[in-house]
Amino acid sequence: MRLHDKVALITGGATGIGSACAHRFAREGAHVVVADINPDGGMRTAESAGGRFIFCNVAIAEQCRAAVAESVASFGRLDILVNAAARLDGYANAADMTETEWRNHLAVTLDGVFYCSKYAVQEMLKTGGGAIVTIASVEGMIGAAGHAAYVTAKSALFGLTRSMAIDFGMHGIRVNTVSPGIIDSGRPDIDRLKQDPAVMRFWHDMTVLGRMGYPDEVASAVLFLASDEASYITGQNLAVDGGWTIGHPPVHRSFRE
């Protein structure tokens, strides 16, 4: 087991990628704490992963501090933090987005990672190290239309990750990001768009592998970076995107049909 007796706090763990990480970590021997604003989904994930659920709105610093503190109180330490919580609704361009929508997006997707990481690092420093893995996005790498706040927040995660990796590397704390591409995660917006054949064709054509990814495939990358197998990797971003960000297939599939 790659995470035997490790203690892992996973934000956004109620559904999708976060839930897949919780289950994968549990199978690898970790004690899992699921933090989310979705109590029903969070408790289901925690129960099936043999862990604990903590209600946590990551946009509120005190709730992040409490989630870290409760994780330590439950299992005695904190070895791994997975920042999977993000705000995903209300896409708009910069001209159309309201100031409130902008602030709400950054409060969850960026500030929440800072808050959780801040308090997790304080605990990891006490025990001689740990690993932080943040779920970023290919949209933070290359941009996307109509996703001004989401792209901004996800892009900023790369700078925060590199800064933390530099600041805490000598203390045995590794910090990395995973950037998923289009993942069949069960998100309502993804499920809705899947009903449109043109959208599905676009998604397939934009990837070298010609398909959507799955939460378990992202969880495998997160597991690797959180485990001792990645002991000499820090400050890096791993794209799990089917080749989306390396370029289009050599001949567009639409022209071959």
Q: Is 115 a catalytic residue?
A: no
To 10 degrees, the CA torsion angle through 36, 215, 27, 169? Answer: -70
CB contact set of 73 (below 8 Å; sequence gap of 6+): none
Which of 115, 150, 214, 232 is an active site residue? 150
Q: Report the 3 state secondary structure along 9-65.
A: EEECCCCHHHHHHHHHHHHCCCEEEEEECCHHHHHHHHHHCCCEEEECCCCCHHHHH
Q: Please name which of 222, 84, 111, 235 lies closest in space to residue 163, comparing C-alpha atoms.
A: 235
As a whole number of angstroms, the distance between CA 215 and CA 98 comes to 31
Q: Which helix (H) or strand (E) element contains residue 132?
A: strand 130-135
Residues designated catalytic: 150
